[in-house]
Amino acid sequence: MPAYLTGLGSSFPGPPLEQDAIWDGYFAERSGHDAVAKRIFSAAGVQRRHAAVNPLTEDVSGWSTGERMRRWAAESVPLGKDATSAALAAADLPASELGLLAVVSCTGYATPGLDIRVAADLGLAADAQRLSVGHMGCYAAIPGLGAAADFVVARGRPAAMLCCELTSLHIQPPDDDRGQAVSHALFGDAAASVVLRPDPVDGALEVLDVAAVTDPSTSGHMTWEVTDLGFRMGLSPEVPAVLARHVGPAVTGLLDRHGYGIADVDAWAVHPGGPRILDVVSERLGLAPDDTAASRAVLANRGNCSSATVILVLDALRSAGLPRPGRPAMMLAFGPGLTLYAALLRAV
């Protein structure tokens, strides 16, 4: 019994903030008007993004982690509810029929958690199971999708997965770490949800397989450290080079298991970790510019929304009619570990 992705939904906090306004109104002064930091902001591939905490009106850089988590608990519930409601509506499924709600986040925690509060607000059945996937980073949507799909296959009941990331809560105090300039230039806030069912419908995506590759020798290249002042990202400029070594074998190995080649893939939902990440993936897989156009558009208009981003890219591809019936789609996302996750889907 396969699992079929039949609904996608998303939600965003507030109106979009323009990248130039974020730099001019907040980060320019904090960086001492550093010319290199300004170039990092200009080269991030981001034009606008959403923020649950608008840095132009509210400075959280000195907040304790406890203060940030209380704000996350308040902001995440309406976003998560709206995104999951939209996915359920797209799937034409009442919330009461869900057997599982999986919630993915690396930007906030509370107990009772987002899973319980969204389940209650949407009216999930009392016997619905819940799963929380925490602190895995930008690739976490794909193992979350895999767990939800496995539940559908094993239990024959529908499942939903919600990714909710509020990176704006983790702006760090000013320092001269250029890695912080990169993260502050890239990340935005979003919630994105998918619904999976055991029965195929027109337009559904069958979940064929999920694969992962982790290179522990490079674990220090990308970190997400819990500090007294929120979560602090560590980024090495070596990340694209490590990804370049692994993305080709990972993708071709997954495709080979199902009798496909790279040329057979009709849609590429690639996590836009940044422009250089997309360049490396394109170079190593031989992709055309159109293949990563949806990823670049999401990066430009939403920023890197951590785990939610690859779902936003998949949603954009589906809105464009991709993949076409009977054709496969590939989801790719990357994060701490260094870890690469891939999911192979096929349009009904």
Q: What is the mean pLDDT of residues 184-202?
A: 96
Q: What is the mean pLDDT of residues 61-70?
A: 98
Tokens at residue 75, please?
A: 């902001």
267 pLDDT higher than 90 = yes
Q: Which of 104, 107, 171, 122 is nearest to 311 (CA)?
A: 104
Instruction: Give the ranges where the chain is alpha helix by DSSP (H).
Output: 19-22, 28-30, 35-42, 65-91, 114-122, 141-155, 178-186, 239-256, 275-285, 293-302, 309-319
pLDDT at 231: 97
pLDDT at 224: 95
Label residues 75-93 b or e (16+ Cβ within 10 Å = b): bbbebbbbbbbbbbebbeb
Given the residues 106, 138, 163, 164, the one annotated as active site: 138
Q: In CATH, what is the architecture of 4-197?
A: 3-Layer(aba) Sandwich (3.40)
Q: Residue 229 has what DSSP assignment?
A: T
Beta-ladder partners of 267: 329
pLDDT at 235: 87
- pLDDT band for position 176 (50/70/90)? confident
161 pLDDT higher than 90 = yes
Q: Is 305 an annotated catalytic residue?
A: no
- pLDDT band for position 177 (50/70/90)? confident
pLDDT at 160: 98
Looking at the domain that runs over 205-347, which CATH code has it been given? 3.40.47.10
Alpha carbons within 13 angstroms on the beta-carbon side of residue 22 total 28
Q: What is the mean pLDDT of residues 158-170?
A: 98
Q: What is the mean pLDDT of residues 268-273?
A: 97
Structure confidence by residue, pLDDT tens digits, 241-266: 999 999 999 999 999 999 999 999 99
Q: What is the mean pLDDT of residues 95-115?
A: 97
Angle at CA of residue 92, ends 86 and 98, nearest 5°: 80
Q: Are strands 159-165 and 100-105 parallel, antiparallel or unpaired?
A: parallel
Helices 293-302/275-285 angle, 10° precision: 170
Neighbours of 238 (CB within 10 A): 13
Beta-ladder partners of 341: 212, 333
The reply to whether 205-347 shares the fold of 4-197 is yes
pLDDT at 71: 98
- Separation CA 281–CA 297 (nearest Å): 16
pLDDT at 151: 98
Structure confidence by residue, pLDDT tens digits, 332-347: 999 999 999 999 999 9
* Cis ω before 338 (30° cut-off from 0): yes
Beta-ladder partners of 134: 105
CB 49 within 8 A of CB 188: yes
CB 8 within 8 A of CB 317: no
Domain ranges of the chain: 4-197, 205-347
